[in-house]
Amino acid sequence: MDNTQGKRITMAHGAGGQKTSELIGEIFKKYFDNPHFTKDDAAVLARPEGRIAMSTDGFIVSPAFFPGGNIGELAVSGTVNDLSCMGAEPLYLTCSFIIEEGFLISDLEKIAESMADAAKEAGIEIVAGDTKVAGHGQADGVFITTAGVGVIRDGFAPSGTQAKPGDAVLVTGDIGRHGCAILLTREEEFGISADVKSDVAPLWNLVSAVRDSGAAVHTIRDATRGGVGTVLYEISEESNVGIRLDQTKIPVDPGVAGVCGMLGLDPLYLANEGRLVIFCPKEETDTVLDALRSRKNGEGAAVIGEVTDLNPGIVTLKTEIGSETILPKPGGELLPRIC
């Protein structure tokens, strides 16, 4: 809008009438415009060139703006990354906004701009959307739900069930930054400050680089809610294998490590929004690392462990002093709550 300064969302913006049209035209269409973007009931799209993958994710992060990103970037990246982990090239995205009455329109505009940037980076088109307004106090700022469609090329179909003994376990960068960044925005709650930025990013560029390297990748998963530790437990169960981590090899930003030390948290359980866990045969490790390290958001890729046929369903950790312990299995409510 020409001047959104100080203007706020009203119930009329969600009523489906003229104010809704104005909001779509002046904010969403402005940033999301592409040949497929529709104000119609549904976007009409070409027939995909293969099997499709479909995914959805809802985002209720509070605060909506945090060091390193905002809820819009998160909502695009989350669904892009879910598709990417299935080996699906992201094609089309829908986004649905539930906005609290009184939300600043200038903040909504910043969010829309970030979504457009993230979508462009991922090569996904935002094709349809929806806007609802909840009364003051009936929602917390803004909630965004995205759904995405991607296309799967034959021959590349990583899955959580395909991890095999002898695989190397990789991460694409240092872990725990998103969870830590959100935690730090609640300074009044935790009483500490540190310079930590969220890792939020769309990661199709990394997955496509790995695919194009020709390496035989077994499993790719983004380590979001619950962090790397939770994701590794899921994969160990789905593939019925054991996983041995080497604590000294797990990359952790010094700021994140400091905060975790002060609060007694383990970075393995902090959320990431721009980090993948990748399983591949050991002999493919160098090919995969080379593919990752030459790309944005993959510079810090590292091998952190291996898959074994001992202790299926269990993740163990070789600690800094050389002893081996069982990584505690995550359960119940995770701290801090960041989604």
Q: Contacts with a second copy in 318-337 (CB under 8 A)? A: 330-334, 337
Indicate the residue among 162 and 311 with the shorter CB distance to a second copy: 162
Rule CB under 8 A: choose which of 111, 152, 196, 303 binds a second copy: 152
| Residues 176-235 contacting a second copy, CB under 8 A | 221-222, 224-226, 230
Q: Nearest approach, Cβ of 254 to a second copy (angstroms)? A: 27
**What is the nearest approach in angstroms of a second copy to the Cβ of residue 150?**
7
Interface of this chain with a second copy, residues 7 to 26, rule: CB under 8 A = 10-12, 14-19
Q: In angstroms, how far is the first alpha carbon of the chain from the final one?
A: 29
**Which residues, at least 6 apart from 320, have a Cβ–Cβ distance to it below 8 Å?**
247, 248
Closest listed residue to residue 92, CA positions, set 126, 56, 117, 50? 126
Cα–Cα–Cα angle for 141, 125, 224, rounded to 5 degrees: 55
Question: Segment 104-133, which members bind a second copy (CB under 8 A)?
Answer: 127-132
Nearer to a second copy, 132 or 293 (CB): 132
CB of 283 to a second copy, least distance (A): 27
Q: Which is nearer to a second copy, 219 or 285 (CB)?
A: 219
Please identify, using beta-carbon distances, which residue of 263 and 334 lies nearer to a second copy. 334
* x-or-dash string of contact with a second copy, 25-64, rule CB under 8 A: ---------------xxxxxxxxxxxxxxxxxxxxx-x--
Q: Which of 165, 65, 166, 184 is nearest to 114 (CA)?
A: 65
Tell which one of 9, 23, 74, 85 touches a second copy (CB under 8 A).
85
Helix or strand (DSSP H, E) at 126:
strand 125-134
Range 63-82, binding a second copy (CB under 8 A): 81-82
* Main-chain phi, psi angles of 49, to 5 degrees: -90, 40
Q: Which of 9, 71, 74, 95 binds a second copy (CB under 8 A)?
A: 95
- Which residues make Cβ contacts (< 8 Å) with residue 183, sequence separation at least 6? 190, 259, 263, 270, 336, 338
- Residues ≥6 apart with Cβ < 8 Å to 205: 121, 122, 295, 296, 297, 298
Contact with a second copy (CB under 8 A) among 1, 157, 216, 257: 157
Report the alpha-carbon distance of residue 71 to residue 178 in Å, rounded.
12
155 binds a second copy (CB under 8 A): no
Cα separation, 333 vs 269, whole angstroms: 11
